[in-house]
Each structure stands twice: as structure tokens, then as C-alpha cells.
Structure 1
Amino acid sequence: MGSAVVLEEKWPVLGRHERAAEWLRVWTDLGRAPRTIDAYARGLAEYLLVCEREGIDPVTANRLHVAAFVKELTTRPSRRGGNVVALDSGAGLANATLQQRLVPVRLFYDYLIEEGLRESNPVGRGRYTPGRKFGGHQHGLVPRMVKLPWIPSEQQWLDLLEVVRDEPIRNRVMLALAYDAALRREELCSLRTDDLDPAHRILRVRAETTKTRRERVVPYSAPTGVLLSGYLAHRATISRARGPLFLSESRRNHGEPLSLWTWVMPPVVV
């Protein structure tokens, strides 16, 4: 069963709108990452549900109708409680989440324009327009907040290391590699035994696991190399087969590849 069909079963509203289903299949056939497709499907499904509730044809919807969807998003309570408000949006959803929900809607209308079904995109993009009255910058529907990355203090980092020190060797290796090589969760959990070059302390991050679809080779430190050597010896007691580097040690999934959904911080044994 194709992933697009599975997503239509997960969000039936996608199957009720022919153009939406077509658009989703295009992205799936182009080989986009499953998590990306899932996020696109969710965002578009939420928009289509609002259209159905308001009696709007999404193919002919205008900016006013999309603004109604934005209003619905900004009044939606947080999953962590109705009193939780994100500081960067003043709403229950964080600014980044609001932006994420609008991306598939904008791309859907780009598709309709390419198919000759529309002349303009009601979502639009923030862009600079020379000569525009009252300034040349046109804002998107939701102002984008750009925040500095969070960097732990020395004490916070020491506290983290104190917690991790008592973790099983697999979890310690995962944290060390993630830190040394700046690996995303999917990149970390997708590492294979043949991605490693212990002699030169480097590892290969395969293109299909990266967000940019670009392969890269990155080094790791000598202390991480020592941890990795110990983990490989430990891994051999679970499985001697080449393949996924990190294996589950739970009774239910013993020896199975570790999925990205089971790797969280603080790390836990799964």
C-alpha cells in the first residue's frame, strides 16, 4: 500500500478532495522523506477540514478564507493545557508550528497554479518588492519570528553529563556522536555499521537520511571513539549481523533497529 494511500486513511479529508490527493501523491512519488510527507498531509488536512466546516471550496478559496484558517490556528489551545501560551506567538501554538501548518497550504496552491487551476496563491510569501508604497517588504500571513538557538550553560551541560554517566553504553555513544558530529535524530538513528571508519575516527551520514539530501563525512573525538569501541563489543552480544548500528535491547524488540521515536533526551533504555 502506498504511503499516500495510508495518509488518506489517516486523514480521510484528503481523499475527499481530488486535487489534494493528487498533490500528496506527487510529493510521495518525488521521493520526499516520509516525515516530510506526513507533516504536509497533516497541515493540508487541517486546512481542508476548516474549508469543509465553513463551506469553502479550497480550489477557489481566497486570502480571506486562508486568513480564517490562520485565525483558527492562533485560537487553538496548546496540547499542554488551555492556559499555555507560546511567547513568540501569543497563542497556544508556537510561531514555528504556525509556519509549519501554512507551508503545505502554500505549496498546494503553488501546485494548483502550475496545473492552470488558479492564477494566484492566497497564502503568499513574505518578500521584498522594490518601489512598494510604505516600504518594500511584504509580510506573510503570519510574521516569522527568528530566535537565537538555545545554548546550555556550563552548569547545565555538566548536569546533563552527570545524568548520562549512568546510562547504558549505547545511549552514551548516541549522545557523544550526536554532539561531536552535529547529527539530527533521524541521522543518528539511521547510522549503520558500514558508515563508520574507526581507524580515521570519521562517519558517513548518508544522503537519504539528511534533510538536505546531501551526504557528508564528519569526524568524532577520541573519547567518543573509545566509547564506540566499547559499544561495538557490546553490540556483538546482541547481534553480529552488519546493518543498523543502534539496536533495541528491550524484550519486545530485542535486536531490532532503534527507531527515531524511541530516542529521546534524557535517554531511556528501550
Structure 2
Amino acid sequence: MVLAEKWPILLRHEQAAEWLQVWSDLGRAPRTIDAYARGLTEYLTMCERAAVDPASAKRAHVAAYVRELTERPSRRGANVVVLDSGAGLSNATIQQRLVPVRLYYDFLIEDGVRESNPVGRGRYTPRRKLAGHERGLVSRVKKLPWIPTEDEWLRLLEAALGEPIRNRLMLALAYDAALRREELCSLRTDDIDPAHRTLRIRAETTKSRKERIVPYSASTGVLLSLYLAWRSSITRARGPLFLSESRRNFGQPLSIWSWSKIVRRIALAADVPRFSTHTTRHLCLTDLARMGWELHAIAALAGHANPETTMIYIHLSGRDLAKKLNAGMKHIHSWRLDKLAALPPGEAKELER
């Protein structure tokens, strides 16, 4: 089994290896399988240290695993950029680690190995009229995405000016079309329609597995023309749009990891360490919400399967709150300001003289 070669602990846990193989055979993305394998092997390792059979583990054992995750120091140490859990791992990372464990136990239940899932999940309870849902094993922290300020964005653009045409084009497309990292790096020459200034985002590269057509601006079109002229000096063959410029992989498709390193270098040069390959997407969708785009239009551009995801950017832009404040408080604001601006009778007569 290929997975067992990378994760030897699976050789000692046949059911876990079988579950991962099922997901792999069903065509799940390799990185998804890798993330599931990593999370599950961490849990299996903890079970072995505690001399517990994972197939018969109880909620107390899962709770011990959660405690271990919350107390684990970050690999980045003092250089960690964002820390929202108050411990070594963020809330989002802990949630991510629990997903494969929960799915593994779902698999055991389906196979009749056990009757209940010790991880569980938030579920609807009719008796809780106010809450509506029962809390999951670990409460989920929901934070709005970070976007750069105008000053930070200007510093990033200035730092990007010294980059090769390819990198500037990739930043422009990532913002212009709100592209995810994989969508951007997976673009091919035949995905471009210069006549209509649109890109075809193929289903296999998207998170929702749904194809979509997105536009790009005239300014980005200029960068694209310049880059295509440069690319033709390497190859005139159709294929991946973005090619590596390094000596080791010259002319090969640019990987998502290389793109992440490029963006990280630009972010540090601009002294905006929180900037990442996903920040341009957040900024674009927030800007569209600020400009008054409708929810369904933003969702269509972003390729969101769930409108609630798109609502994050409506909230982040503050558009709805500002609109309600201006409409509902206009009279009250004007009344109070008129009162503040009014002069006492004596002072008014003094000014008339």
C-alpha cells in the first residue's frame, strides 16, 4: 500500500489503512488524503502511547488527544505570525486534526465495529429552541479573514514592482479574479480567452469541483500580453501557463509551493508578514462587497458552493451595517449635531453685532 510506505503506523492498524484507501479509491485529492493520513496517524500514535485500541477508544481518550493538541508548542516557536487559540495550535488546526478521526469512526460504525462515534459533531436538537444545535466536541472559533490596510497594500505593490513579469501577472490575476492558489497555478494557455478577457477555471482545480468563467481587467490583460511574449521565448507549446524560471526546474510548471515561497518573500520585503497567497482573494471579494455587488454575483465569481461563505465578505466589508446606520440614524445624527451647533442666545446676538 502506497500510503503505508509514507505512514508506517498504518501497517499496525489495518482498519485505518483500509479507510484511507477507500477515500483514495473514491478519487479524493492527494493533498486531502495526505492531510487525513497525517491527522489520523497523530491520533493513532497517541493511542499507542496510551496503550489504547483505537477501535474501542472512548470520548475520554479523544479528549486526551485534544488536550495534547492544545498544549503542543508551535513548530514556528516565537516566530509564529498568528496565534488565535492561546496555545501551540490554532483552533482551526485542531478542528482539522479532528476531522479524519471523526470520519474514521464513522467508517467503523458503518462496518459494525462499534455503535457510536466518540468524536461526534454538533447536531440539531429540537429541545434547544434558542441554540438550535448542540455544541461539537471542540467549540469552533469563527474569525473574519485578515485583509491588508491601504498602506500595507501599497507597500506590497511597491515590493512587487521589482518582481519578474510572471510574478506580477500572478498577483494581478489572483486579486482580479479572486483565485485560490491551486486555481492560479493550474491555469493553462487554453484557459485564456483574450477576446473577452475571461479565464476558465476548470472543475478539477476548484474546491467545489464546479467549473466557472471569471473576468480579468484591461490592466491585467496588458501584463498577460507581456508575459505570453516572454513565455514564447521558452516554449510555444500549449500547456501550463506559468512556468518555472529557476535553474533546476526551468520551463517546468510552477508548483503551488514555489508560488507560496514567492508570495512569502514579497510579504517580508513589504513588512506585511500576514500576507499570503489567499489574501488577494479575501481582499478582492471584500472590495466587491464594498462596491455594492450582490451576494449571488460575489458567490459566482468566488465559486462558493455555500452562500454563507460569501456572507463572510459582506460582514468584513461592513456594507450592510453602514447602510443600516446611515438610513436609520440619519435623523438622530442630524438632530444631535444641530443641537451641538446651536449657539446660546447671548452668543448669537454678539455675533450679529
TM-score, normalised to structure 2, is 0.72
Is the contact made by 2:244 and 2:253 (CA closer than 8 Å) also made in structure 1? Answer: yes
The structure with the greater share of residues assigned to helix is: 2
Structure 2: runs of 5 or more not aligned: 267-353
1:182 Cα deviation after fit:
0.9
Range with bigger deviation, 53-62 or 76-85: 76-85
The structure 2 residue matched to 1:81, chosen from 67, 77, 87, is 77
Range with bigger deviation, 20-29 or 123-132: 123-132
| 1:118 corresponds to | 114
1:199 partnered with 2:204: no
- Compared CA separation, residues 250 and 89, structure 1 to 2 (3 A): same
Distance in 2 (alpha carbons) for counterparts of 1:179 and 1:220: 9
Larger of the two Rg values belongs to structure: 2
Is the contact made by 2:23 and 2:33 (CA closer than 8 Å) also made in structure 1? Answer: yes
Range with bigger deviation, 91-100 or 129-138: 129-138
Is the contact made by 1:51 and 1:57 (CA closer than 8 Å) also made in structure 2? Answer: yes
Q: Secondary structure, in 3 states, of the residue corresponding to 1:204?
A: strand
The structure 1 residue matched to 2:4, chosen from 8, 28, 31, is 8
Q: How is 1:22-171 mapped onto 2 (pairs within 5 angstroms)? A: 22-81=18-77, 87-132=83-128, 137-171=133-167
1:128 Cα deviation after fit:
3.0
Identity among equivalent pairs (%): 75
- Compared CA separation, residues 173 and 192, structure 1 to 2 (3 A): same
Distance in 1 (alpha carbons) for counterparts of 2:179 and 2:160: 18
1:19 Cα deviation after fit:
0.5
Distance in 2 (alpha carbons) for counterparts of 1:138 and 1:85: 32
Q: Secondary structure, in 3 states, of the residue corresponding to 2:54?
A: coil
Number of matched residues? 264
Is the contact made by 1:85 and 1:91 (CA closer than 8 Å) also made in structure 2? Answer: no
Is the contact made by 1:130 and 1:136 (CA closer than 8 Å) also made in structure 2? Answer: yes
| 1:184 corresponds to | 180
The structure 2 residue matched to 1:250, chosen from 228, 246, 252, is 246
Range with bigger deviation, 86-95 or 235-244: 86-95
1:229 Cα deviation after fit:
0.7
1:236 partnered with 2:232: yes
- Compared CA separation, residues 73 and 182, structure 1 to 2 (3 A): same
Is the contact made by 1:86 and 1:93 (CA closer than 8 Å) also made in structure 2? Answer: no
Distance in 1 (alpha carbons) for counterparts of 2:34 and 2:76: 22
Distance in 1 (alpha carbons) for counterparts of 2:254 and 2:79: 36
Q: How is 1:219-230 mapped onto 2 (pairs within 5 angstroms)? A: 219-230=215-226
Is the contact made by 1:85 and 1:93 (CA closer than 8 Å) also made in structure 2? Answer: no
User: Aligned letter for 1:15?
Assistant: L
Distance in 2 (alpha carbons) for counterparts of 1:248 and 1:135: 52
Distance in 1 (alpha carbons) for counterparts of 2:131 and 2:188: 52
Range with bigger deviation, 16-25 or 127-136: 127-136
Distance in 1 (alpha carbons) for counterparts of 2:170 and 2:56: 49
Distance in 2 (alpha carbons) for counterparts of 1:167 and 1:213: 32
- Compared CA separation, residues 83 and 162, structure 1 to 2 (3 A): closer
Pairwise CA RMSD of aligned residues?
1.9
TM-score, normalised to structure 1, is 0.93
The structure 1 residue matched to 2:16, chosen from 14, 20, 42, is 20
User: Aligned letter for 2:178?
Assistant: A
The structure 2 residue matched to 1:211, chosen from 207, 212, 216, is 207
